[in-house]
Structure 1
């Protein structure tokens, strides 16, 4: 009996001497620069004992649905206004656990070289979600093509247009798909990292860009509220923010043009 007890104690001591099992998380993101940068961080996290499975989504709805259902632990695709609207509309129990890249947006045309060249009854493709549509409309107003109701801000919609001098006709498109329709319309809202990833045209060819200093549009790492103190999530965010490879991938994703993006956590 004493011998058996000794063996059991020795075995327990051996187990406790082993390194702790590696954590494992699933991170949802979207293709392009965001997805590539998350994949790079996942590789580096693995070397530090954290297994990260990257799950890519092709739309801006499913990543939050998957997070709410517990299919993923963290997502990385949305800025704060988008997150706030999603929480308001769907009742999600989410919070951010870190900040990532700040992406600019622009207005692009493959048919015209200036806003003056856009014809009467011209066609415009714009994001179909409430927040990014409002952001695009503010850019159209900045370009002098439309006038919006006073004070609507980034939550403006097509219904908030009070002046449309050229009688522009709008088509609402899922944000990541805007790059695919740019050649079919006179003007389109565009996201430089999606344009670079598609290799369809030069992401630096926008007729106008939003203010890159507007940090409310920085992409966030988002988790359910009961996971905000999860050390594995914090470890991954730290790996992402401190990785030279991630920074290099983001630079490439934004055409190596500092006017198109910023590393928002550096000024956090």
Structure 2
């Protein structure tokens, strides 16, 4: 019996010693939830997936660029490109996982027509999500833009604003907290879900299925092709993960693979 226990312990110790740790930074919903779902798949492949949750859109990229984390999962490619350009980093997209439509929410009005003259509208203050919000406001007919194709439009790029809406910029993560204090707020789906909002029911209007803003797994050029990272990609792109996304988020988040 002692020999058997010793053999089992030795085998277990050897297995643990062989497991490779992969650290991924993520925002809580749905990114960290999806990563938690695939953890058992990675464990079977000898990868110990460790997820660290962040509440902002800057530190996850900083942590990866400074090699304090192996990768991250929270952003779309337009945001990544803008971050690389402004910060001088060279982070790369490894794989597209899901799409989170940007939506417009209000706790004070039931329709867009109810928003009063001079009403306050909050949009994200980062370049890409801010531009995305401006395009969505234009598509809804609330404003027009000087260049309707400019994905980096800001409130300064408004051509017409017939109801004199006051459009304010705020960090994306904070916007749900001020929803009750404004007339309309453009909120990323991950933060909407975190705030217990249902994008399919609560949004007054929302991006369509043609949104180009798929959320991607991100890494550095030196580790994007590592065996552990590629095992994570395989798990994220598995049929089980696709079904998990569909069953859990019921259209608020859609698989991009």
Give the secondary structure class of the aligned counterpart of 1:234: helix
Deviation at 1:150, TM superposition (A): 2.0
Q: In the alignment, which of 99, 103, 120 is matched to residue 100 of structure 2?
A: 103
1:54-133 maps to which residues of 2 (within 5 A)?
54-133=51-130
User: Which 4+ stretches in 1 moved above 3 angstroms?
Assistant: none
Partner of 2:180: 183
Distance of 1:47 and 1:41 partners within structure 2: 10
> Which segments of 5 or more consecutive residues in structure 2 lack a partner in the other structure?
1-10
RMSD between superposed Cα atoms in Å: 2.1
TM-score by length of 2: 0.88
Deviation at 1:243, TM superposition (A): 5.7
More displaced, 80-89 or 242-251?
242-251
Aligned length: 244
For the structure 1 residues 100 and 202, does the alpha-carbon distance in structure 2 shift closer, same or farther, using more than 3 Å as the test?
Answer: closer
TM-score by length of 1: 0.85
For the structure 1 residues 250 and 24, does the alpha-carbon distance in structure 2 shift closer, same or farther, using more than 3 Å as the test?
Answer: farther
Q: In the alignment, which of 233, 236, 242 is matched to residue 232 of structure 2?
A: 236
The answer as to whether partners of 1:82 and 1:131 remain within 8 angstroms in 2 is: yes
Distance of 2:244 and 2:39 partners within structure 1: 15
Deviation at 1:249, TM superposition (A): 4.9
Q: Which has the larger radius of gyration?
A: 1
For the structure 1 residues 151 and 171, does the alpha-carbon distance in structure 2 shift closer, same or farther, using more than 3 Å as the test?
Answer: closer
Partner of 1:224: 220
Deviations 1:34-56 (A, max 9, x none): 11111221233113211111111
Distance of 2:182 and 2:162 partners within structure 1: 18
The answer as to whether partners of 1:146 and 1:161 remain within 8 angstroms in 2 is: yes
The answer as to whether partners of 2:91 and 2:219 remain within 8 angstroms in 1 is: yes
